[in-house]
Every structure is written in C-alpha cells, then in structure tokens.
Amino acid sequence: MKTIGLLGGMGPLATVDLFEKIVLNTKAQEDQDHLPILIYNNTQVPDRTEAILNKGKSPYPALLESCRKLQEMGADFLTIACNTSHYYYDQLLEEVDIPILHMQRIAAKAIEGSKFQKPVIMATKGALAVGLYQRALEERGLDYLLPNEEEEEAIQEVIYRGVKEGNFSLDQAKIKKAFDHFRDQGGDAFILGCTELPLAQKIYGWEGNFIDPSLELAREAILFAGGEVKDGPLETL
C-alpha cells in the first residue's frame, strides 16, 4: 500500500473535496482498509491564473517546495488539487523523485471511454489560455468546445466570486446563459476543469452531464496506491 501525497490549498474547499472523494470511493470495510494520505493545505501558493496571464508572482517555487515537503514526509506519489497548477507539471516532475498524477490526462482517458462526443471545457482563464485540457483531449483525438470571452468571465466569476469567496448565493444568470449556449452548439457534457467547479455544481445545483476530473483523479490515486475502487458509479456526498 502506497502513501498518497495531496498538495492542496488552491483552494482549501477543493482540497477537502479531493480527500473526500478518495475516501468515499475506496473499497473498505474498516479504517484499516483505507489508504494513508498526507495532505499539505498550502494556502500561500500565488494565484496561478494571475501568474500565467498577467505576469503575477510565480507559484512555481511554492509548488515545488510543497511537493518536496510531501515527498520528505513520506508520500510515494503526488496528486495536485488544482487544475491550473498542472501548467508547471513537467517542471515539477523533473525536480521530485516520486510520480505526480496528471489530472487532465486522467480526465481525457475517462472521456475517451465515455459516451460523450463534444464536451465543453470549463476552466480558469489561465488553464484555457495555456491549453491544459485542449492538449490532453487532442492527444486522444477527442473533440471539444471552448467558451467564448463572455462565457470565460461567467466561469471565472463562479470560481473566484462564488466558491473561493464562500458566496453560495451568487447569481447564476450568467453561467446558466453559458450552459444554454453550449448546449445549442452541441455540447453534450461539461468538463469541470477547475477544482472549484465540482463544488459549484453541487452548491448551485447545476443540471446536466458533468465530467469531474477531481473524481477521476481520486479514482486513479486509489488504484495507484494499491487500493480498490468501490463497485458501481463513483461517489460524492
């Protein structure tokens, strides 16, 4: 049995969400059947989108320090509870001595095996700008839809002004308009490509077909650690 390293804090609720999904989806009858997990909830990592788009303070030093800390604590491999941080994936992988699971590639693999033909990529402006999900889907020859500028703003608002601020009564008019437009374009599923978005889906009661990369990452982490995934559909509270 391997020890999972969970790098979080970006944001804290997303960290709790990934941890919860690992626990809920592990086949276990007692405490001792669950997997050992080390969590570093580093809330001081500079904003990833700000760094990518506006040359803000780089999060890379804090990400690297966090990965090394988890490795030193005894993690056998790492998961990162932040999609946009995967922009630094290759650099981080070169600097640590343990594997790092890649959320976008894991999600793309799950989509390839699904019924969905044209998923919509919902993510931060930073992740969209550097093509994190675009590349992962294209590597598998998968089609997708991208939000326009207005829709990017609506997604960004949900992430930053909604979940990150703890504003659970945020007006949903803009994002619902985006969902309608995506469906009109033939979008048959929505990739929740920021770790705040699976939380938003539950908090605001969004309806539709959703692909949750955090959930897919949790499943992969369980298997990579030597655990068993529960039978049936993946679970969340």
- What one-character DSSP code corresponds to residue 82? -
Q: In terms of C-beta density within 10 A (0-12 exposed, 13-18 middle, 19 or more buried), how is residue 50 classed?
A: middle
- What one-character DSSP code corresponds to residue 137? H
* ω into 11 cis (within 30 of 0): yes
Neighbours of 148 (CB within 10 A): 11
Match 């966090």 to its residue by tokens: 66
- What one-character DSSP code corresponds to residue 165? T
Cite the DSSP H helix spans in the chain.
12-24, 48-54, 60-73, 89-95, 103-112, 125-129, 132-139, 149-157, 173-184, 197-203, 213-224
Residues known to be catalytic: 82, 194
Q: In terms of C-beta density within 10 A (0-12 exposed, 13-18 middle, 19 or more buried), how is residue 189 classed?
A: buried
